[in-house]
Chains A and B, each alone.
Chain A
Amino acid sequence: MDSNINKVLLLGSGPTQLGIENELDASAFEKLMALKKMGIKVIFINDNPFSVVSEEIQPANVYYQEINFENVKRLIEKEKPNAILPTVSGLNGLQVTWQLIDSGVLERNHVQILGISKDNIAKIINDNNLNDLLSEINEPIISSKIVNDYEEAFDFVRGIGFPVIVKPISPNRDTSRKLCSNGEELQAALEYSFSRTYVNQCLIEQSIVGLKEIEMVGVRDVVGNKILVSGLEDMDPIGIHSADSIIFAPTQTLVSQEYQRLRSATFKIMDALNLNGTCHVQFAQSRTDDKYYVTKVSPFFTRNTMLASKATGYPISYISGFLELGILLTEIKLPERFGNSLAIMEPTLDHTVVKIPLWPFEDVPDADRHLNTTIKSVGSVIGIGRSVEEAIIKAMHSSQYSPRDILPTAQKMDEDSLIRQLIHPLENRMLILIEALRRGFSIDELSELTKIDQFYFYKINQLLKIQEYVKNHPLCSEAVKIGHKYGFGDGMLAELWNTDIMSIRKINQDNGFRVTYKEVEPSAGEFIEKTNIFYSSYELENESSPFNSKSALVIGRGGNQLGPNTASDYYTTQVLIELHKLGFKTIIMNTNPNAVSLVPHLSNKQYIEPIQLGNILNIVEIEKPEYVFLPGNRHYLTKQLRKFKNLKVIILPPDQEKTSFNKNKANTAVDLFIDGNNILPITTTTLDTANNKNSLKYITNYYQPMKQHTKYGNYLIDKSISMLKNSDYQGLIQVLFDYDSLTDQFEFIGFRPIRITETAFLSKITGVNWVRVLVKKNVGNVDFNRLEKMVKPDHYLRVANMISQFPFNQLRANQHAGSTQQEVGARLEFKNIN
């Protein structure tokens, strides 16, 4: 390692959007752990108010600013770091870094780049340069050419063969693309495209639509040692964005030679880029011959890097944190619970992981639901099983196509629409595939129409048969056994048979059906690796045993969805951290591969299981936790869990049902913390909406303190305290007012528990972590006096502003002002008060 590095500027993820969830923050967290271990000081820039990392770093070293050239430049000049780490900041981070190189900022300030050399950053952010590099090392890429006339076009296509895609070259981002399979179609497409270009040029590109999409994630150290962490196979063919594809790990339908070819290609690319750290390479693999094409190279942390990490238990981000510093794979010392050799062993799996995306179309109804090359999913869930079926069922259940029906039907759809949707899939494609199988389409035919490998249809068909069998044998022990084997949990069986979960659990008890938990670890049982990541199966050996000391189970939020989105996971993470501080062994249950709450350092044990009553009860049975924490607004689960009187269930934020309003309109709020009889005012806030309606549903813009704080702040605070004095509200409470500028009057609107996103906002701006205070309030003691000293809502030097972000542009939806239900993320800024 370069011993001159002692201060690193870490670039954060920026606000959550479609394509960037919390995987970058989770990854940054692991990097931070690695950097801290090496005694390195970290400066962090991120304007995402839901970042967990920014609260793990000294406040003075955290900059809540947009990650752009100007801000980062200013930061470098001020903080003088030795190095910049751009690999957990997505493509934006690399682009900013490139600008810093290009403008000489890095050189002038003697800042080195960790992980990837400056020459190679240029290759990654510019497709042409990347294609040159790939051609140089003889890795196949998709041929494309800009042509000026018909003759040139036909000559080119004669060389590469059909099918091809023709696009007009046009400055106004004309997105029309024509797929041609023969000369006639090419002629027509050229006529069309030449008529739409001012510069009289068209782009012709070899079409790889329909090929298998395979992804490889590897790590490499500075001297060239490499490990292929995991291969991933997209069930959906090329043509559907990988983020919108159902993905399997390990690869399911590649023969050894195909797999090894792609593995070798990945290594060759990592060598050519001379990178130290992690790299994610995407390929299009032909279904009829040995051919493949490199379609994308990401030498930085991506969502599927995270998936590879979750699938194998190999802590990619933590390990690549060391690699980026120039430490060799053989020199990395992992935390004690891992086996000695974990970092240098190539992971091998004895389970299957399935990732199913979640789409926001229910919340944004006017978006185009067709799946294509633009990303549309907002989150995803994973299911892990010992069999492929088990993994599919768990992931499907977590993705909640329908809470009741496990393999839902689309009986009403007419045949034409069905076929149309098989060819041009919408986000409900799984449902369509199931329906087509139900209607007796042959697997050959379906595979031809959808370009999905037959293997997957066999598996879905198998599941249909199992469901049919189970359905027809209600409460029969053999059906329970078979159901369990294929991933039907107790809750699902209860739903299928329209019965109470307790009657299924009775059958389990009578027949000795016991759930077994298997560890997700990268040696396939060769070594004892205490990754403490588990999933369920029904087999012989259970590998998870309860802790000797008091423990708490925290139920994660599952896949990211519009609304509080990643703020929910931030909230969950803070609960875990505080419980750990209070001396609990912490157990997290979650299905979101991108969740920070699943970072191994943040809990003592992780269960990757559907967040359903049956699965929760199974874990409770084995772990016997003192508390079950349920963060987030989850009314159905709350209701279900409250039926179990012997469970100490703690719902956060508390008192959600006590919300009461006079009106649905407000523009000012006072936030307070109430512990017993003590009431602590935290701050005042101005609430704003983009559509100026100020209806509560549309409040997505927050200023702290409120705009007329000096004039009315104390007045409103006093009023709020007196109103709350004899109420039974506890915890974080917001008192809402509506200010009428004509009358200069504040009308009292109501009380509500402070929402998840606003709690994160409050924590960032007050320096007090309010989630942790709430946890303390529930299971320990709050030092109210200390808190009182820390929170002073009377003098403000700066205004904090949290602005919610919406996915309307990305989804090309015709909407501007969004509701709280439609938030995808938020930005946080501070402005000094002059």
Chain B
Amino acid sequence: MTTTRYLILEDGTSYEGKAFGSLATTSGEIVVNSTMNGYQEIITNQVYHNQIIVFTQSSIGNTGLDQNSYESVQPTAKGVVVREYENLATDHFKRISLDKYLKQHNIPGIYDIDTRQLRHHLQKVGNMKASIVDVDDEHAFDQLTATVLTNQQVAQVSTPKPYANPNDGDNVVVIDFGLKFGVLRELSKRKCNVTVVPYDTSSERILDLDPDGIVLSTGPGNPNDIKPGVLEMIRNVQSEVPLIAFGLGHELFAIANGAKLNPLFIEHHGSNHPIREIITNELLFADQEQGYQIDFKSVDHSKLFITYLDLINGSIQGLRHRDYPAVSFQFSPDGSPGPKDRDDIFDDFIETMATRRRQAYGF
């Protein structure tokens, strides 16, 4: 028999729904994702640390979870809200059903929610906290109001120790702010010899690894909350080796180079916004997991070029350093999930590393 549960919002709104996954009581920031395929990649993306994910896709779970689509080992999302879920594991990658997976990882889900109304509501009221609870009484709302969400998300999801993903190509160090596996897959495909290091690793230790290139990964939370040492590290390494940054990494790269970041009224998670590459005027689509945007006026044009723009909300989607081979992207070109319209960004990175090596060593 299905259990009735409630999704309650900080502004006092309550939605009655039915439980699936874990029956834990949970709180987090509520965000909406409008990508149609790839619920597995979304739920397992560390960018959703401490967040409750609302899917606009009306039915998720139609295919089971497969071994090739995890974006982390341990998902850290706080909840899943959907109109309808299907507890199937039917396709050829058959591994595990959504309900079972969420139970295993203690993530509560709630379905039978008018997610379209919920989205309309959130578009109006903006980002806020929410809980999935058994009873939507005053106590539950008090608890929600009193809940203080951590601002140490990166520290909680970053790897505590370095680890290697060996291969016989370029030597790449990935700084883990909440790394999603899509980036590792793209690097593996290009035979990169990867070392993943904790987010607060010093620039000396990173450069000691003798990297051909450095990746600043995506990750959760507010970029303004990051330890100052991280920005220092970015400034130190960007002048030494080719650097590429995504998502939170891009935001930190911008801050490290003098830009300011402001929160969006409502976070944007989806792959439906056209992104324009300024130099070519081409449009592309890619997964965007964005809660903050760079203040246009704060960009120091003597240091940074703006390379990509979101044509819907006007936000900066890409930067390039004028002096160093360093580039950053707000979006995720790795296509897990979402389109792979610009996965050649990784090829460019490999090419940059090669050019650099030729310049430095002549081969």
> With A345-B272, A346-B274, A540-B114 known to touch, is A454 a contact of B336 (CB < 8 Å)?
no
Would you call A523 and B272 a contact (CB within 8 A)?
yes
Nearest residue, chain B, Cβ from A224: B282
A224: chain B residues at CB < 8 Å are: 282
- A172 contacts the other chain (Cβ, under 8 Å)? no
B200: chain A residues at CB < 8 Å are: none
- B151 contacts the other chain (Cβ, under 8 Å)? no
> With A344-B274, A539-B114 known to touch, is A260 a contact of B338 (CB < 8 Å)?
yes
- A551 contacts the other chain (Cβ, under 8 Å)? no
- B311 contacts the other chain (Cβ, under 8 Å)? yes
Would you call B90 and A455 a contact (CB within 8 A)?
yes
> With A255-B37, A350-B115, A458-B88 known to touch, is A260 a contact of B340 (CB < 8 Å)?
yes
A254: chain B residues at CB < 8 Å are: 37, 63
Kindly state the separation between the CA atoms of A516 and B40 in the bound complex, as whole angstroms.
30
Would you call B41 and A287 a contact (CB within 8 A)?
no
Would you call B114 and A350 a contact (CB within 8 A)?
no
B263: chain A residues at CB < 8 Å are: none
Would you call A350 and B56 a contact (CB within 8 A)?
yes
B117: chain A residues at CB < 8 Å are: 539-541
- A753 contacts the other chain (Cβ, under 8 Å)? no
The digit string for A494-517, where 1 denotes a CB below 8 A from any CB of B, is: 000000000000000000000010
Which residue of B69, B84, B274 is within 8 Å of A387 (Cβ)? B84
The digit string for B252-286, where 1 denotes a CB below 8 A from any CB of A, is: 00000000000000000011111010000111010
Nearest residue, chain B, Cβ from A261: B340
B120: chain A residues at CB < 8 Å are: 525, 541
A256: chain B residues at CB < 8 Å are: 37-38, 40-41, 69, 335-338
- B137 contacts the other chain (Cβ, under 8 Å)? no
Chain A contact residues: over half helix, strand or loop, or mixed?
loop
Would you call A524 and B83 a contact (CB within 8 A)?
no
> For window 45-74 of chain B, which residues contact chain A by CB distance below 8 Å?
56-59, 62-63, 66, 68-69
Would you call B123 and A345 a contact (CB within 8 A)?
no
Would you call B92 and A289 a contact (CB within 8 A)?
yes
- How close is B92's CB to chain A, nearest CB, in angstroms? 5
Would you call A225 and B282 a contact (CB within 8 A)?
yes
Which residue of A264, A522, A525 is within 8 Å of B123 (Cβ)? A525
Would you call B84 and A388 a contact (CB within 8 A)?
yes
> For window 533-562 of chain A, which residues contact chain B by CB distance below 8 Å?
539-541
- A772 contacts the other chain (Cβ, under 8 Å)? no
> With A256-B69, A388-B59 known to touch, is A348 a contact of B270 (CB < 8 Å)?
yes
The digit string for A80-120, where 1 denotes a CB below 8 A from any CB of B, is: 00000000000000000000000000000000000000000
- B36 contacts the other chain (Cβ, under 8 Å)? yes
> For window 226-243 of chain A, which residues contact chain B by CB distance below 8 Å?
226-228
Would you call B36 and A351 a contact (CB within 8 A)?
no
- A252 contacts the other chain (Cβ, under 8 Å)? yes
Contact count band on B: 35 or more
Would you call A253 and B115 a contact (CB within 8 A)?
no
Would you call A257 and B68 a contact (CB within 8 A)?
yes
Kindly state the separation between the CA atoms of A387 and B114 in the bound complex, as whole angstroms.
11
Kindly state the separation between the CA atoms of A388 and B84 in the bound complex, as whole angstroms.
9
- A432 contacts the other chain (Cβ, under 8 Å)? no
B341: chain A residues at CB < 8 Å are: 264, 267
> With A251-B37, A260-B338, A260-B340 known to touch, is A352 a contact of B59 (CB < 8 Å)?
yes
Which residue of B34, B38, B116, B119 is within 8 Å of A539 (Cβ)? B116
Would you call B37 and A347 a contact (CB within 8 A)?
no
Which residue of B40, B68, B116, B336 is within 8 Å of A386 (Cβ)? B116
Which residue of A227, A344, A348 is within 8 Å of B35 (Cβ)? A348
B112: chain A residues at CB < 8 Å are: 485
Would you call A260 and B281 a contact (CB within 8 A)?
no
- How close is B89's CB to chain A, nearest CB, in angstroms? 9
Residue among A260, A288, A341 with max Cβ neighbours from chain B (10 Å): A260
Which residue of B57, B91, B270, B340 is within 8 Å of A264 (Cβ)? B340
- B146 contacts the other chain (Cβ, under 8 Å)? no
- A330 contacts the other chain (Cβ, under 8 Å)? yes
B210: chain A residues at CB < 8 Å are: none
Nearest residue, chain A, Cβ from B83: A386
Which residue of B62, B281, B312, B336 is within 8 Å of A341 (Cβ)? B312
- A162 contacts the other chain (Cβ, under 8 Å)? no
A-B contact count (CB 8 A): 162
- A40 contacts the other chain (Cβ, under 8 Å)? no
Residue among B34, B38, B41, B91 with max Cβ neighbours from chain A (10 Å): B91
Residue among B15, B69, B84 with max Cβ neighbours from chain A (10 Å): B84
> With A347-B272, A350-B115 known to touch, is A253 a contact of B62 (CB < 8 Å)?
yes
Would you call B62 and A252 a contact (CB within 8 A)?
yes
- A213 contacts the other chain (Cβ, under 8 Å)? no
Which residue of A250, A255, A329, A386 is within 8 Å of B283 (Cβ)? A329
Would you call A255 and B66 a contact (CB within 8 A)?
yes
> For window 208-228 of chain A, which residues contact chain B by CB distance below 8 Å?
223-228
- B295 contacts the other chain (Cβ, under 8 Å)? no
- A830 contacts the other chain (Cβ, under 8 Å)? no
Nearest residue, chain B, Cβ from A352: B58
- How close is A332's CB to chain B, nearest CB, in angstroms? 12
Kindly state the separation between the CA atoms of A518 and B68 in the bound complex, as whole angstroms.
35
Would you call A526 and B272 a contact (CB within 8 A)?
yes
Kindly state the separation between the CA atoms of A54 and B149 in the bound complex, as whole angstroms.
64
Would you call A255 and B69 a contact (CB within 8 A)?
yes
B15: chain A residues at CB < 8 Å are: 540
Kindly state the separation between the CA atoms of A260 and B112 in the bound complex, as whole angstroms.
28
B274: chain A residues at CB < 8 Å are: 225, 227, 330, 341, 344-346
Would you call A455 and B41 a contact (CB within 8 A)?
no
- How close is A521's CB to chain B, nearest CB, in angstroms? 10
Would you call A253 and B282 a contact (CB within 8 A)?
no
- How close is A379's CB to chain B, nearest CB, in angstroms? 26
B56: chain A residues at CB < 8 Å are: 348, 350, 524-525
Kindly state the separation between the CA atoms of A121 and B93 in the bound complex, as whole angstroms.
39
- B339 contacts the other chain (Cβ, under 8 Å)? yes
Nearest residue, chain B, Cβ from A252: B62
- How close is B41's CB to chain A, nearest CB, in angstroms? 6
A289: chain B residues at CB < 8 Å are: 92
Nearest residue, chain B, Cβ from A349: B36
- How close is A528's CB to chain B, nearest CB, in angstroms? 8
Would you call A344 and B311 a contact (CB within 8 A)?
yes
B69: chain A residues at CB < 8 Å are: 255-257
Kindly state the separation between the CA atoms of A255 and B38 in the bound complex, as whole angstroms.
6
- B86 contacts the other chain (Cβ, under 8 Å)? yes
Would you call A346 and B272 a contact (CB within 8 A)?
yes
- A259 contacts the other chain (Cβ, under 8 Å)? yes
Would you call B41 and A345 a contact (CB within 8 A)?
no
Would you call A351 and B58 a contact (CB within 8 A)?
yes
Nearest residue, chain B, Cβ from A523: B272
Nearest residue, chain A, Cβ from B39: A256
Would you call B116 and A350 a contact (CB within 8 A)?
yes
Would you call B36 and A526 a contact (CB within 8 A)?
no
Point out residues on B near A: beta carbons under 8 Å. 15, 34-38, 40-41, 56-59, 62-63, 66, 68-69, 83-84, 86, 88, 90-93, 112, 114-117, 119-120, 123, 270-274, 276, 281-283, 285, 311-312, 335-341
Extra inter-chain contacts (20) besides given A348-B36, A458-B90, CB under 8 Å: A224-B282, A253-B90, A256-B37, A256-B40, A256-B336, A257-B335, A257-B336, A264-B340, A289-B92, A346-B272, A346-B274, A346-B339, A348-B271, A350-B58, A455-B90, A458-B88, A524-B57, A524-B270, A541-B114, A541-B116
26 contacts between A and B (CB under 8 A): A227-B283, A255-B69, A256-B37, A256-B335, A257-B69, A257-B335, A259-B37, A260-B339, A289-B92, A330-B276, A330-B283, A344-B283, A344-B311, A345-B274, A346-B285, A348-B34, A348-B271, A386-B116, A388-B86, A453-B90, A523-B34, A524-B270, A525-B56, A539-B114, A540-B114, A541-B116
Point out residues on A near B: beta carbons under 8 Å. 223-228, 250-257, 259-260, 263-264, 267, 287-289, 329-330, 341, 344-352, 386-388, 453-455, 458, 485, 516, 518, 522-526, 539-541
Closest 6 CB pairs of A and B: A256-B38, A541-B117, A539-B114, A256-B337, A524-B56, A525-B119
